[in-house]
Amino acid sequence: MAPETKKRRIIFHIDMNCFYASVEMAYNPKLKGKPVAIAGNPEERKGIIVTSSYEARAKGVKTTMPLWQAKKLCPQLIVMKPNFERYRSASREIFKKMADITPYIQPVSIDEGYMDITNVTNLGSAVEIAESLQKQILDDLDLPCSIGIAPNKFLAKMASDMKKPLGITILRKREIATKLWPLPVSEMYGVGEKTAKKLKALDIHTIEDLANKDVYQLKQVLGINGERLKNRANGIDLSPVDPEAVNEFKSIGSSQTLPQDTTNENEISRLIQVLADNVERRLKRKQAVGRSVQLTIRYHDRTTITRSKKLQFYIDQKKDIVDIAEDLWNTHWNQDPIRLLGITVQDIHDKQGIAEQLDLFTYEKEASKEKLYSAIDDLTSKYGKNPFKQWKQQEVKDHQPRTSFQKDFLDDYKK
């Protein structure tokens, strides 16, 4: 957790600029100054833009835009597949530089995180620390970032968005009326498209409108989140910079957009296998198990449904995930063409923290391993560690990622 202090907090939000594209430019400087986009399945007609350089953005290319549309706007667009291992390595080095300044770091994705430097007294002023960090990341890694400086996480996040690329912005509470309130409420962190529509229905168009809205009306429409958003609009955010937050996860999932809409059941069955394999790998890396499986189906017209099944036992095996996902699919698919499928294991818990609840089947299965367990206990007593468990953890750790991993590796910089 963040340090206990009576001082006014000094929080940084570090936001890498066009991160995936910037990493590719650092790796191949010939790409600099050119319109570059990273896209999933760039060879397919329905590939989606993951991120793009500022040169591409100037032509109208945006994140989540279909690849065909991006190429229409920018015929010179250089499209590259994601290189996740390259991005993971760059992210690790960035967070290590942050950790050299303070241990109070909260990564929130592969390319952004918070720092609490309230008690850092030997490295100069907050602006000097920010300038030094930004320069180090640029000089050593050839990667640009923007930094927001504020008394809390929300204001720091908003500040980092105010000047890109390579910006350093201070946002004090006394400045929110002039710097924050004039912004459209849709640009406020924590306000998504659906929430923005609900706020617009309440005649809330700017962050100032939200800051001055009656909290009761907001809670009627948005529940407790209405009060939270009003507080943030008024510059209030008491949440700490929590280094352990990265270890808190409630679900692990994987989804994939198909290259073309399909009703082909063989293709869908293969995709379920791939998604379940991805989820199993991530569960094992986290040493976690789950007790609910959710299937997401997005149809050709973008109508999306989610259906889930709560289990009486915890699972982490691909076979179990596939069985439940296929059961949900067979029950809820309406025979229309689909464009996306996703599988998520929910109600996640740390495997070590769960006492095994053995039914008759698992009891017999575990009892058959009793001699093996005894042998492992003997080896553990002799050598001090369970050698089988150590090997298994290393095997999981070394497995290469194959899908998006925005939150999969955020503790790498500690290793």
The annotation places the binding site for Mg(2+) at: 15, 111
* Tokens linked to 227: 């009060």
Residue type (1 letter), 398: D
Residue with tokens 């592969």: 110
Largest separation between any pair of C-alpha atoms in the chain: 71
Q: Phi then psi for 117, rounded to 5 degrees?
A: -110, 20
SS3 call for 29: helix
* Residues with Cβ within 8 Å of residue 324, at least 6 apart in sequence: 293, 309, 311, 315
Helix residue ranges, H only, 161-264: 176-179, 193-201, 207-212, 215-222, 224-233
Contact assessment for residue 409 and residue 88, using Cβ atoms and an 8 Å cutoff: yes
Contact assessment for residue 185 and residue 202, using Cβ atoms and an 8 Å cutoff: no
* Catalytic residue flag (residue 244): no
Q: Choosing from 112, 187, 244, 267, which is the catalytic residue?
A: 112
* Tokens linked to 270: 């293969």
**What is the number of alpha carbons within 13 Å of residue 114 lying toward its C-beta?**
28
Binding-site annotation: residue ranges: 15, 111
Q: State how far Cα 113 lies from the chain centre.
A: 11
Distance CA 326, CA 272 (A): 8
Contact assessment for residue 91 and residue 70, using Cβ atoms and an 8 Å cutoff: no
Distance CA 176, CA 146 (A): 19
Catalytic site residues?
112
